Amino acid sequence: MTANGVFAVDPWELRETRLDLDGLARSESLFALSNGHIGLRGNLDEGEPHGLPGTYLNGVYERRPLPYAEAGYGYPESGQSVINVTNGKILRLLVDDEPFDIRYGTLHFHERVLDFRAGTLRRTVEWTSPAGQRVRIVTQRLVSFTQRAVVGICLEVEPLGGEVRIVVQSELVANEDLPAPVADPRAAAALRNPLVAEWSEADGLRGTLVHRTRHSGLRVAAAMDHVVDAPAEVATSAEASDDWARADVTTVLRPGERLRLVKFVSYGWSQQRSLPAVRDQVAAALTAARHTGWDELLVEQRRYLEDFWDRADVQLDGDAELQQAVRFALFHVLQAGARAEGRPIPAKGLTGPGYDGHCFWDTETFVLPVLTHTLPRAAADVLRWRHATLPLARDRAGQLRLRGAAFPWRTINGEECSGYWPAGTAAFHVNADIADAVLRYLDATGDREFEREVGLELLVETARLWRSIGHHDLDGHFRIDGVTGPDEYSALADNNVYTNLMAQRNLLGAADAAARDPARAGELGVDAEETAAWRHAAVAMMIPYDEALGVHPQAEGFTRHQGWDFAHTRPEEYPLLLHFPYFDLYRKQVVKQADLVLALQLCGDFADPDQKRRDFEYYERITVRDSSLSACTQAVVAAEVGHLGLAYDYAAEAALLDLRDLTGNTRDGLHIASLAGTWISLVLGLGGMRDHGTLSFCPRLPEGIDRLAFRIVRGDARLRVEVLRTGATYELVAGSTPLTLRHHDEEVKLDVGASRTLPLRPTPRLPRPAQPPGRAPARRSGLPGR
């Protein structure tokens, strides 16, 4: 069992062994189903009780005002919030006129299982009504990976006592009442009744609702249809109104008989298409789903996931809970991006309304590395979405009196939604993060068509931004002043090392890409003078260094700031942003999340191993991890510099963040970047993988993990890596050409079907570095059973 005693430890599923009504909102996030286009929170089928109802469509949002006490030039005028669209999950059940409600009667058995291989949420209940009728109810739910507009739900009911009359009420409900938001600025703003009815219809067992959002003007359609299998006569009816459609099925069951009802739901939305077009779109999706049938939908779902796990699985021996957590993480990362197709991957995926459903830099820096090496098509789709928002990014740059493109800090449709500019607009590194994702995708896939159509323009416009923001000083250094790096506890800093190194990579990458395709570069107005200016700026990039301390300051002057008073900071005062003014945070040495350490991971060539260790240990003492983005990065660099036990602890923290609700806000949705960070911690951390044109590995295993195995997709090649204490084995299981990689400093060339086993290098034993008081990660190694 996991620490909270609710979830059983199983390598391929998340099994809830008892129902915790106080933790419903959290479990609804954990049991969410999605395909990147549709997202369903894991609400109970009967609709009540619930923690937070949620049905989401990627890209469907409502506008809301962003009020300011004092207006300022360039402040965004409106925000965007993801909305709870029409709920098609509801299947109410009446047993001899008694509504099935787990709060009444007697609940004998309740189990829910999220199956990572089947892609389904299965629920089994045995319940006795207040009138004494005992029934078994089994439901299974999926959001299809193969038919992206389709949701399927199968309900089976059987009596466990005498004859019973069963009524099933299947509903579509729009504008559901939502609970008031908690007092936390990270929680989403609740929007009441955002949908305006345009059309409704009920016919047979089919129902359709079409709505339009009040302010953003998006048209949303939802439709349902049913297939009923019962041993006796069935009575049916249906009706619809503006915000509600219902189909009723009534029958009588005797002992040993079973009612089976399959519900298909389809969704569609558009900003431009007409009502008839959107209505017909969901009708067609329903027709296709009925033609496929429930059983074949299950088969398609399993086949899709078999292929995914064949490319993406990570195996661990020695820590069963972490094994479960990494597959849970990969499953949800897949769900967040598999069928996003021209839409963003929000920070919470489609599992909840946290962060208003916005997409941040998290996507490119944490999620896309996983997808690039497991499902590269999905990574390309997200970057195509960024490319589609280039006109808005150019407009924003122009508004800020800059050249190139300034991509938003947080957004749904491509417009900036951050009303706090020091941590939003000034965090220009998001532009280099996008460029970095482009470069890593190109290195991993060699997709020159993508480079010509999408990649080159993204690289060019972001490179232009850096030449516009930065300047050459009197000493010839290229400076980028007054920006905010990943650490949001330090704003408006000069020469943030992470930002400068990532901008350097952006500038050189853009120049190289333009040289590869001069014709396309010319179409974008790039000439030799501009690329020379990019290269000049990159070579002259200012990288501050503190000679006295022998470390890189996070930004110029950072190591001269006053230290934070950790000794007098109480445990309940974390996260600091909720208890201290930003002014105090900005002028002290306290780090919210990995910043300089993230530079060591992503741009590690700028420092030698001894320098990396000094930098890492310095920032360990002042990093409080008030962000879920930090642990995985600290895991990677801890492993690289030799702190394997600490790396293991951080990897487990990233993996268990939501399963154990370590930040206390899983109720608002899962932390998709931290889940992606589980893969990063293990593959880049313990596996030591780096991909800068050539794949390289420096694998190592901490005490408590006896074996690590993972797979990497690179072009049409599939590489399997297995790390034991006796050595690492590399096997090229598929591909059209040999693959060259590096194991430590040794070059390894693999033919298709061939494998090589090489010894691991010993890892030095180093004293464990200190963290701020009370902020050390939970110890993983040395636990019972490890």
Residues annotated as catalytic (active site), given as ranges: 488
Strand-pair partners of 151 = 143, 265
Pick from 464, 459, 454: nearest CA to 513 = 459
Please state, in angstroms and rounded to a whole number, the distance separating the CA atoms of residues 337 and 382.
Answer: 8
Phi then psi for 450, rounded to 5 degrees? -60, -40
Phi then psi for 750, rounded to 5 degrees? -115, 130
Pick from 169, 111, 105, 166: nearest CA to 131 = 105
Strand-pair partners of 203 = 206
Residues 6+ apart with CB under 8 A from 674: 366, 628, 629, 631, 632, 654, 657, 658
Pick from 226, 100, 94: nearest CA to 167 = 94
Where helices occur in 171-232 by DSSP H, the ranges are none
Burial of 196 (0-12, 13-18, 19+ CB in 10 A): middle
Structure tokens at 716: 């049409």
User: Is there a contact between 746 and 701 (Cβ–Cβ < 8 Å)?
Assistant: no
User: Is there a contact between 218 and 61 (Cβ–Cβ < 8 Å)?
Assistant: yes
Residue 588 C-beta-side C-alpha neighbours within 13 Å: 18
Place of tokens 């741009």: 603
Torsion of CA 54, 55, 61, 66, to 10 degrees: 0
* CA 504 to each of CA 432, 456, 486, 501, 541: distance values in angstroms, whole numbers, following the listed order: 9, 16, 16, 5, 7
User: Is there a contact between 683 and 729 (Cβ–Cβ < 8 Å)?
Assistant: no
Please state, in angstroms and rounded to a whole number, the distance separating the CA atoms of residues 544 and 117.
Answer: 48
Where helices occur in 446-565 by DSSP H, the ranges are 448-450, 456-469, 497-516, 518-523, 528-539
User: Is there a contact between 38 and 148 (Cβ–Cβ < 8 Å)?
Assistant: yes
Rounded (10°) angle between helices 630-641 and 672-679: 20
Structure tokens at 618: 């310095």
Question: What one-character DSSP code corresponds to residue 363?
Answer: I
Pick from 54, 57, 37, 61: nearest CA to 415 = 61
630 SS3 class: helix
Residues 6+ apart with CB under 8 A from 159: 133, 134, 135, 253, 254, 255, 257
Please state, in angstroms and rounded to a whole number, the distance separating the CA atoms of residues 31 and 42.
Answer: 5
User: Is there a contact between 116 and 12 (Cβ–Cβ < 8 Å)?
Assistant: yes
- Is the four-CA dihedral 100, 105, 108, 112 of positive or negative sign? positive
